[in-house]
Chain A
Amino acid sequence: SQQGEEDPQALSIQEGENATMNCSYKTSINNLQWYRQNSGRGLVHLILIRSNEREKHSGRLRVTLDTSKKSSSLLITASRAADTASYFCATVNGLSQGAQKLVFGQGTRLTINP
């Protein structure tokens, strides 16, 4: 089964710096999504990129997708203390029909130091 793997597993940066997290996956996808999870809380959808898209922006977020390398990156610019959280990529299999489950990666724990 496909599996998203993020790197790094943990990232600690100073407030105001940019944070880049990467995700790799194994099989063809329909789309790739990024989620944020504050400690002990629920999953918040951040951004979705379709398999035919290469880059997408939303506010301070920039997502890229390289289907030839089966990888994606999430860039958070001008980081803030409130960005401290775990970030997960999740993929929808390109061949799946019906309910189309999300398959999550291991996540990157991001810490923004004031």
Chain B
Amino acid sequence: EPEVTQTPSHQVTQMGQEVILRCVPISNHLYFYWYRQILGQKVEFLVSFYNNEISEKSEIFDDQFSVERPDGSNFTLKIRSTKLEDSAMYFCASRGTAHGYGYTFGSGTRLTVV
């Protein structure tokens, strides 16, 4: 069964450093998402991406965040200058069909900012 792959599974970084979280969505999917989950809290939407541009972003997704699909297979989330409060699990998801069906989530990257 096709999977969404995320790397690394766990990343520790110092406050103020840049991090790039990587995702390989399912190959024929068209919509791509990043979500995050702070420990013990609910899953929050960050950004959606379609046709090589951001479709929607949340208030969390400020100027410190950016997304790219550099080569047609990878989908990356960059945090330019990490803060302690960016520590969370980050999930990538992709979807191929219309009308909200068929989301597949990756297993997540646990980001720890120290």
Contact = CB atoms under 8 A, between A and B. Distances in A.
A45 interface: yes
A25 interface: no
A99 B33 CA distance: 9
Contacts of B74: none
A98 B106 CA distance: 21
Interface residues of B, number: 27
A30 B95 CA distance: 15
Interface of B: 31, 33, 35, 41-45, 48-50, 55-56, 89, 91, 93, 95, 99-101, 103-108, 110
Given A102-B93, A102-B103, 11 more contacts: A30-B99, A30-B100, A31-B99, A41-B107, A42-B107, A42-B108, A43-B43, A99-B33, A99-B55, A100-B95, A100-B99
